[in-house]
Amino acid sequence: MYSNKNEGPRRGRSFDSMNIGFEEKLLNNEINKSTFTKIEENTEKKNTSEKGRATIIFSLKNEVGGLVKALRLFQENHVNLVHIESRKSKRRNSEFEIFVDCDSNHEQLNEIIQLLRKHVNVVDMEPPDNSCLHEEDMYDVPWFPKKISDLDKCANRVLMYGSELDADHPGFKDNVYRKRRKYFADLAMAFKHGDPIPRIEFTEEEVKTWGVVYRELNKLYPTHACREYLKNLPLLSKYCEFREDNIPQLEDVSRFLRERTGFTIRPVAGYLSPRDFLAGLAFRVFHCTQYVRHSSDPLYTPEPDTCHELLGHVPLLAEPSFAQFSQEIGLASLGASDDSVQKLATCYFFTVEFGLCKQEGQLRAYGAGLLSSISELKHALSGNARIMPFDPKVTSKQECIITTFQDVYFVSDSFEEAKVKMREFAKTIKRPFTVRYNPYTQSVDVLKDTPSINSVVEELRHELDIVGDALNRLNKQLGV
């Protein structure tokens, strides 16, 4: 819940080693003669540019002397070879692929590539890994969590409400309600990553308030909610006891979401800043309130409460495509400027909170602010509301309204369409790096230099190898 107020080591490659007969003997002879040794510092052709590790993969025809001719080009251009491997080409059976790791700068690398192209087919190339950000480039980057436990540092920076209520809040003059709110705030403030979420014994009044909201909203869902919402709500009833006479426990909901999409719940005392709230989404963590709105008006709340979180957000956080969409907004916010974070938060507001989609030619709601508000849900789909296509460049400039209905609602054809548009928009955000979530360590990898990018490439190659193996096995079964 957020307020709208405003280097690791290089990994080895998995190339198969193989004997290439006469070619290998010639290569060994060349190496034994120390042809490919490090260049002495006093060599006349020394390049004074900073060097780094570069990689070139090229293929050559299975002919005598081809490899030595190619490698001699490195010698003649004073490039030190660090590692050489070979394998049968997967592209053409008659060719070999050669992997070469060398010490080179950009100028030398470009020169050697041009010479190689005359004799071989260059399959792949990675530039020297000395290409990285200087510390001064990172100096102005705002702090952001690098691992999921870092959320402990920002989850308690509550901006509004919590245990303190404004004078116009329905519960401001109710001392019993305010004491109850402090109880929920203290539980959230004491929570640390890895703790089980405390189970709450809700009062009869709280359950009754929840029941009114649950009952009235469920009358609208069949004709107003998107199909993904309608698919997941019954599952929550089955596994998390979503019922009119029962308020679900956040720990049960968190376990359910973890199995469905990898999202987890973290209790929060009140409003967080856009930066802190979106940072949680990057780790698939949803900051969620546990308190219930004041009973004097069950169909109104000036702030998100557990009715809004559980009935509005949770059913769609159980949907993989929507979960991915939410996380990508969070990842785009890490280390971004205040202005960029505000734009991302505004896009989040008009999608995750107040978004509409088209299904079977009809408008349907997927935004949590709509799916937890009877009056605004009716209004948004009444035919009288102003509807515009979702375009992050336009949406990010729209004013967010938290006291009345929105002036405009944005519609997408699907979550996938919205996700593609947000990815393109995220690329326009100025920051000297990008980030990637590592689900194994529940941390983010900061991709700011060649080694960190190479690491991701290696992981992707491994994943593609698994896909290729699966396809080969499927083809065998189908007799293809």
Q: Could you say which of 228, 328, 353, 376 is catalytic?
A: 353
Query: Is residue 163 a contact partner of residue 185, using CB atoms and an 8 Å limit?
Result: yes
Distance of CA 177 to the CA centre of its chain: 38
Active site residue 353: yes
> Can you give the pLDDT at residue 115?
83
Query: Is residue 99 a contact partner of residue 85, using CB atoms and an 8 Å limit?
Result: yes
To which residue do tokens 């299975």 refer? 62
Cα distance between residue 153 and residue 145, in whole Å? 8
Query: Is residue 245 a contact partner of residue 211, using CB atoms and an 8 Å limit?
Result: yes
pTM listed for this prediction: 0.73
Active site residue 287: no
Q: Please calculate the CA angle 395-396-400 and round it to the nearest 5 degrees.
A: 85
Q: Which residues of 14-24 are buried (b: 16+ CB within 10 A; e: fewer)?
A: eeeeeebeebe
Rounded to 10 degrees, the C-alpha dihedral 40/45/47/53 comes to: -60
> Can you give the pLDDT at residue 21?
41
Cα distance between residue 37 and residue 48, in whole Å? 18
Q: Could you say which of 169, 224, 294, 308 is catalytic?
A: 308
Active site residue 193: no
* Residue-level pLDDT, tens digit, the chain, 480 residues: 665 543 332 223 222 333 334 444 444 444 344 333 333 333 334 334 456 667 788 887 666 677 788 888 888 888 888 778 776 665 666 566 788 878 777 777 788 888 887 777 765 666 655 445 555 556 678 999 999 999 999 999 988 666 678 888 888 899 999 999 999 999 999 999 999 999 999 999 999 999 999 999 999 999 999 999 999 999 999 999 999 999 999 999 999 999 999 999 999 999 899 999 999 999 999 999 999 999 999 998 888 999 999 999 999 999 999 999 999 999 999 999 999 999 999 999 999 999 999 999 999 999 999 999 999 999 999 999 999 999 999 999 999 998 899 999 999 998 889 999 999 999 999 898 999 999 999 999 999 888 888 888 888 888 999 999 999 999 999 987
Query: Is residue 338 a contact partner of residue 254, using CB atoms and an 8 Å limit?
Result: no
Distance of CA 303 to the CA centre of its chain: 27
Active site residue 83: no
Two structure tokens written together for 268: 């929060």
Q: Could you say which of 372, 373, 412, 443 is catalytic?
A: 372
Two structure tokens written together for 456: 């991701």
Q: Could you say which of 95, 206, 313, 373 is catalytic?
A: 313
Strands (E), 114-271: 121-126, 264-267
Dihedral sign, Cα of residue 253, residue 255, residue 257, residue 259:
negative
Smallest Cα–Cα separation from 240: which of 152, 195, 306, 164? 306
